[in-house]
Amino acid sequence: MMRGMDWRDQGTLLSVRKHGETSAIIEVFTENHGRHAGVVRGGVSRKIAPILQPGAQLDLSWRARLEDHLGAFTVEPVKSRAGVMSDRLALAGLNAMTALLSFSLPEREAHPRLYAQSVAMFDLLGQSETWPIAYLQWELALLEELGFGLDLSACAVTGAADDLAFVSPRSGRAVSAGGAGEWADRLLPLPPELLGVVTGGSAGVVEGLATTGHFLMHGLAHSLGNKPLPEARARLVDRLARQAS
């Protein structure tokens, strides 16, 4: 007799889709099993539906007859992040994160470091004025984890570690203002926020997101068959740009 597959893990809910009249198919980002989908029986019931909100931290038990089956989850709430619903910008941040993770992560492949960074970032949404800078750093971490990391440690031309002002759109390496020369207008901006420096205001974050957006689109999305980036990220950038202006 074949033994069924099962595991227990903790994860963040990325998306929910109704399945039949009473069930839901959820997608979660777990610590040890990566992005994983499964059915939640009774997932649209009054009791369970409030738990299944994107961004929620869940304790998950997954069971299937064979490993490659969709399988079924039983879920227990660990932490609701529904508190961000009243904060327009934080909600946009949460939507951008869940959409990007769902868009970019390969299925059933563990990324424990990115998972830890993502959970910390989810917890930070709306908690301080500077969370957009942390979000920018999280996008850098996402790119790094998926093989499109930027090297912002030193200038690719001069080797200097200071006066860094640009990023090469091809190599993803930093370029100093002096090293850029006449190529400056063809390079991407490297605001201090991209290096994790808090300057106040959202303008630097928006500039930084334009740079990470370039690599998300031309690197990550290109490798996924040129799928368009999730609309939710564009909405977050739009909100931050409105705040900056």
Partner 1 sequence: MTTAPREIEELIELMAKLPGLGPRSARRAVLYLIRKRGILLHPLADAMHAVAATARECITCGNVTTTEVCEICSSQKRAIGEICVVEDVADLWAMERAGMFKGRYHVLGGTLSALDAIGPDDLRIPRLVRRVADEGITEVILALNATIDGQTTAHYIAEELEGRCAVTSLAQGVPVGGELDYLDDGTISAALRARKAL
Kindly tell me which of 90 and 150 has the beta carbon lying closer to partner 1: 90
Tell whether residue 51 is a contact of partner 1 (CB under 8 A): yes
Read out DSSP for the chain? Answer: -PPPEEEEEEEEEEEEEEETTTEEEEEEEETTTEEEEEEETTTTSTTTTTT--TT-EEEEEEEESSTTS--EEEEEEEE--GGGGG-HHHHHHHHHHHHHHHHHSPBT---HHHHHHHHHHHHHTTTSTTHHHHHHHHHHHHHHHTT---B-SS-TTT--SSSEEEE-TTT-BEEEHHHHGGGGGGSEE--GGGGT---SSSHHHHHHHHHHHHHIIIIIIHHTTSPPPPHHHHHHHHHHHHHH-
Tell whether residue 15 is a contact of partner 1 (CB under 8 A): yes
Tell whether residue 121 is a contact of partner 1 (CB under 8 A): no
Q: Cβ 165 to partner 1, closest distance in Å? A: 33
Tell whether residue 204 is a contact of partner 1 (CB under 8 A): no
Q: Cβ 76 to partner 1, closest distance in Å? A: 12
Number of residues that bind partner 1 (CB under 8 A): 27
User: Where does this chain touch partner 1 (CB under 8 A) — which range of 158-166, 169-177, 201-209, 226-234?
Assistant: 226-234
Residues that bind partner 1 in the complex, under the rule CB under 8 A? 15, 17, 21, 50-51, 53-55, 77, 79-83, 85-86, 88, 91-92, 94-95, 99, 102, 230-232, 235
